[in-house]
Chains A and B, each alone.
Chain A
Amino acid sequence: MLTCRQMTELVTDYLEGRLSWKDRFRFQLHLGTCRHCREYVREMKVAVRTLGRLPPVEIPPATMDALMERFRSW
């Protein structure tokens, strides 16, 4: 049986689909019995999804102007 501490080190391999079928089974078995690790994995997924939705940053107008100049002279 995996420990919770081991789970926290395997979570990325799990989410990346890089665990062997045997380790994946052990991971899922632990998740089925440990609500704290379920919460941990859920939080990790939320953190990753949040990173993918960060708000856009405005590019400085002077930089945009310089790039447009490059584009127009391309």
Chain B
Amino acid sequence: MRFLRRATSARDQGTAAQQRAASHQDRALVVRLLARDEAAFVSLVRTEHESLVRLALVFVRNRATAEEVAQDTWSGVLAGLAGFEGRSSLRAWIFQICSNHAMRRSAREARSTPFSALGGPDEPAVDAGRFEADGHWAHPPHAWRADTPEQILERAEAVACIGRVLDELPPAQRAVVLLRDVEGLDAAEACGVLQVSEANQRVLLHRGRSKIRRALEKLLGDE
């Protein structure tokens, strides 16, 4: 199980004012990187590298190749940094470079499955057996034993469970959940990185999130 977190997601940031502040942070980070500030690079790599590997794994065959894609992404980031214009967040820009590298690599490997084919089957968010024939709950959800992110993350088995479910998601669902919920990109940024429509992105997000919730319910539900 390998993944990274964002300290705060874009959704948590919420307001336009806070998003402008995040953009200032991006610009400040770019300035430090362009000044060859090693600490800034180390910090960025520590928070993003594994997510780049995860994103690459959506497109390429194995972890070793994904690792190469992630490392090449950093070379691409450094090569293009002076031209970063801040039209998207720095993270979205880095993930865009990664997905471009990964798609080119998968095309070279003749594993160019269209992203649309990686979405997995059309499944209900909740098993049909939990509803009455009239569509109301027969077996409703119950409060979890841990019901805040902090309480959940105190449980190693919950962290492991989330990682496992993320790894098992169909690739396109995994990519969208990773970019939107783990990395905190907004919908437009995620669509740009993955080259999918907003509606398709939302369907994938819904399916992926529903599976994560279902797994947490199984682990933490009182039933």
Interface residues of A (CB under 8 A from B): 3-6, 8-9, 11-13, 16, 18, 36-37, 39-40, 42-44, 46-57, 59, 63-64, 66-68, 70-72, 74
**Contact among B11, B38, B143 for A48, CB-based, below 8 A:** B11
Q: Indicate the size class of the contact surface on chain B.
A: 35 or more
* B202 located at the interface, meaning its Cβ lies under 8 Å from any Cβ of chain A in the complex: yes
Tell me which of B14-22, B40-48, B111-119 binds A.
B40-48
Which B residues, 190 to 211, have Cβ-Cβ distances below 8 Å to chain A? 202, 205-206, 209-210
Q: Can you list 8 A-B pairs with a CB-CB distance of less than 8 A?
A: A36-B141, A39-B140, A40-B141, A46-B147, A49-B12, A54-B5, A67-B49, A70-B74
Nearest CB in chain A: distance from B82 CB, A: 11
Cα(A55)–Cα(B42), bound, Å:
17
Contact with A along B142-184 (1 / 0, CB 8 A): 1110011110110000110011000000000000010001101
Which B residues, 208 to 222, have Cβ-Cβ distances below 8 Å to chain A? 209-210, 212-213, 216-217
Cα(A13)–Cα(B205), bound, Å:
10
By a CB distance below 8 angstroms, the chain A residues around B2 are 57
Contact check, B217 vs A43: say whether CB atoms are below 8 A apart: yes
Nearest CB in chain B: distance from A40 CB, A: 5
